[in-house]
């Protein structure tokens, strides 16, 4: 199924999510899915192969997080780090839909970071960058760091917050995309991490539980 045939389904999903994108942004999202399918043969970016499933499980699943993200940032210019980004989900989707957000996608696998750089070049996304590194190595310099550190099905909340904490700037938050409400993971968090909101998501065309867990350093 070509990107052209998927366009009506994507546009219907965007309407359901209340997202208004330009025609160029819609085309970029479909072109991004085509790049995943093309590079997947060599880079093994995803186990999902069917184009319709990729649209639902990858694009729309990531797009469901955009309205909460925009509410959190208030439309301000923001530095965001996507941890364990793999093929760029949700980082690339955020970069396409939110040009005011500078998105860095970090992954320990070189070919995945290289793929993000290829996407940034192919889709002309100056606000997107792939980084080959362990997230633990990304230290916030004085006045630097990230406003939001996000992940999607990356690791437990304990590991995610522990490994990525050095990358946070003052006042920053974590945005963890999860399936079911992670009761056990929340209970395991250290007292130094405070959960301030769990937001339920509904992904168009996907009959599965999804949520965002918003966290911040305690006292922050």
Of the pLDDT bands very low, low, confident and very high (cuts 50, 70, 90), residue 220 is low
Q: Are strands 168-178 and 193-201 parallel, antiparallel or unpaired?
A: unpaired
Question: Angle at CA 55, nearest 5°, toward 78 and 133?
Answer: 45
pLDDT: which is higher, 142 or 83: 83
pLDDT for residue 16: 97
Mean confidence (pLDDT) of the chain: 93
pLDDT for residue 139: 82
Q: Is 72 in contact with 173 (CB distance < 8 Å)?
A: yes
Average pLDDT of span 28-53: 86
Between CA 214 and CA 104 the distance in angstroms is 19
pLDDT for residue 4: 54
Q: Is 218 in contact with 192 (CB distance < 8 Å)?
A: yes
pLDDT for residue 1: 46
14: tokens are 């965007």
pLDDT in tens, 90-112: 999 999 999 999 999 999 999 99
DSSP secondary structure letter of residue 5: H
Domains of the chain: 3-217 (3.40.50.150)
pLDDT at 43 over 90: no
Torsions phi, psi for 171 (to 5 deg): 85, 5
pLDDT at 203 over 70: yes
Average pLDDT of span 142-160: 90
Of the pLDDT bands very low, low, confident and very high (cuts 50, 70, 90), residue 48 is confident
Residues β-bridged to residue 148 = 80, 173
Between CA 160 and CA 64 the distance in angstroms is 21
Between CA 62 and CA 55 the distance in angstroms is 10
pLDDT for residue 158: 97
pLDDT at 132 over 60: yes
pLDDT at 167 over 90: yes
pLDDT: which is higher, 2 or 145: 145
Of the pLDDT bands very low, low, confident and very high (cuts 50, 70, 90), residue 142 is low
pLDDT at 120 over 50: yes
Q: Is 112 in contact with 99 (CB distance < 8 Å)?
A: no
Of the pLDDT bands very low, low, confident and very high (cuts 50, 70, 90), residue 209 is very high
pLDDT: which is higher, 86 or 145: 145
Average pLDDT of span 182-210: 96
pLDDT for residue 5: 85
């Amino acid at each position: 199924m070509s990107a052209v045939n998927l366009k009506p389904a994507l546009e219907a999903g965007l309407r359901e999510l209340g997202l208004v994108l330009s025609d160029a942004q819609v085309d970029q999202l479909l072109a991004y899915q085509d790049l995943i399918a093309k590079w997947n043969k060599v880079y093994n970016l995803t186990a999902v192969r069917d184009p319709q499933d990729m649209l639902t499980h990858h694009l729309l699943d990531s797009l469901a997080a955009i309205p909460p993200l925009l509410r959190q940032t208030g439309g301000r210019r923001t530095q965001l780090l996507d941890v364990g980004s793999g093929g760029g989900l949700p980082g690339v989707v955020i970069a396409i839909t939110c040009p005011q957000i500078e998105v860095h996608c970090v992954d320990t696998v070189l070919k995945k970071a290289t793929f993000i750089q290829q996407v940034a070049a192919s889709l002309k996304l100056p606000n997107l960058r792939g980084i080959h590194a362990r997230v633990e190595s990304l230290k916030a310099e004085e006045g630097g760091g990230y406003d939001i550190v996000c992940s999607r099905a990356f690791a437990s909340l304990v590991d995610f917050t522990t490994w990525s904490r050095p990358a946070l700037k003052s006042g920053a938050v974590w945005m963890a995309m999860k399936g079911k409400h992670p009761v056990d993971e929340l209970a395991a968090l250290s007292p130094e991490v405070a959960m301030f909101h769990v937001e339920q998501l509904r992904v168009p065309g996907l009959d599965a539980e999804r949520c965002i867990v918003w966290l911040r350093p305690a006292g922050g």
